[in-house]
Chain A
């Protein structure tokens, strides 16, 4: 568990470097990824995979928006690396594996799970983006959007 969260922390750093993010955001991006993955692991104990993705996604998006406003950089920097651990890579693999084995029932299940998880990621970004858009409607002439 600690090792998993540490893994997520390093994912934040490595992901930011791959995307050419400025150096000053690396620690924040790592923090967003690590806490996001920690949150997901907690939700996963009690909820289904897609619902845990949704709640963890809400948390990550919210955290990203707040950090982006503090550091004054585009929020995408944190969203991309923050959501990287939630991307349904495992589901995609399960889909391909089942397909190769000729197990269509498993393949269908995996496909549905991938779609669900991807949808939940989109939904959580939608929700938090909309909230921030309503709360922080930029007044004229003022540069507020991070």
Chain B
């Protein structure tokens, strides 16, 4: 009976980590560590981007669990929390029941929507400085950041695909930046404002995870994440292009 509970704990840990955007090797590693605390003949965990699998063979039975992961988003706090729980459990600092319970019930204090949006604004502004912008670029980038947040709120309400979401948002920022420049500050550097405002759309986690998964030989996860980041990058480029073109096409 205990073995089944261990399997469930491992599955739950794997599911949360996969759904929060962790690298596949990390998911498998965490699951395997939990599974190996069981008194079993063999234990194996397998994780890809879209699902986790685990099997545990004891003296008289073989138990296998499959969990499809339909919805994914990026939440590094959840990954860190699961990591912490499984580390404590594997070092025998907490019992299996406690670990299972904590996995089921932990709530990560995520940042509120307002803080999240403020962070997007801050990211745009700080990128403007990072890329060598001055006061004028900073002001324009901040206003453009507000436009970006507005665009993101709008598309998130419409629930479109990631490709369309990025395409729309980057069209808005490219058009908005050109508009703001010609009406407010004619001698601001347009490049700086546009590059700074497209930074929140860049798929940083997908890129990093793709690299690390590929290095580890998880070509399925690495490949799909690489494709994901390429698709997003292309949609940013297309959107910026469309925005600039629209601005020029205006009389």
Which residues does A use to contact B, with CB under 8 Å?
A: 3-4, 6-11, 13-23, 25, 37, 72-74, 76-77, 79-81, 83-85, 87, 89-90, 92-97, 99-100, 118, 121-122, 125-126, 129-130, 141, 143, 145-146
Q: Which residues of B contact A15 (CB under 8 A)?
A: 119, 123, 204
**CB within 8 Å for A74 and B22 given contacts A99-B241, A100-B244:** yes
| Interface contact tally, CB-CB below 8 A | 164
Who on chain B is nearest to A118 by CB? Answer: B207
Say whether B204 contacts A89, CB under 8 Å: no
Interface centre among A8, A96, A122, A146 (most CB of B within 10 A): A96
Interface centre among A4, A74, A95 (most CB of B within 10 A): A74
Q: Which residues of B contact A9 (CB under 8 A)?
A: 126
Say whether B211 contacts A76, CB under 8 Å: no
Say whether B77 contacts A93, CB under 8 Å: no
Residues of B in contact (CB 8 Å), total: 61
Say whether B237 contacts A20, CB under 8 Å: no
Q: Which residues of A contact B129 (CB under 8 A)?
A: 3-4, 6-7, 10
A-B contact pairs, 11 of them (CB 8 A): A11-B126, A18-B116, A18-B120, A20-B75, A20-B78, A20-B111, A22-B108, A89-B198, A90-B131, A93-B198, A126-B215
Contact of B90 among A3, A18, A143 (CB under 8 A): A143
**CB within 8 Å for A77 and B115 given contacts A8-B130, A143-B87:** no
Q: Is the interface of B mostly helix, strand, loop or mixed?
A: helix
Say whether B132 contacts A4, CB under 8 Å: yes
Cα of A125 to Cα of B26 in the assembled complex, Å? 16
Cα of A10 to Cα of B86 in the assembled complex, Å? 32
Min distance, Cβ A106 to any Cβ of chain B, angstroms? 13
Does B94 have its Cβ within 8 Å of any Cβ on chain A?
Answer: no
Q: Mark B105-138, 1 if CB is under 8 A from A, else 0.
A: 0001111000110011011011111111000000
Q: Which of B208-225 contact A (CB under 8 A)?
A: 208-209, 211-212, 215
Min distance, Cβ A108 to any Cβ of chain B, angstroms? 15
Does B199 have its Cβ within 8 Å of any Cβ on chain A?
Answer: yes
Min distance, Cβ B43 to any Cβ of chain A, angstroms? 13
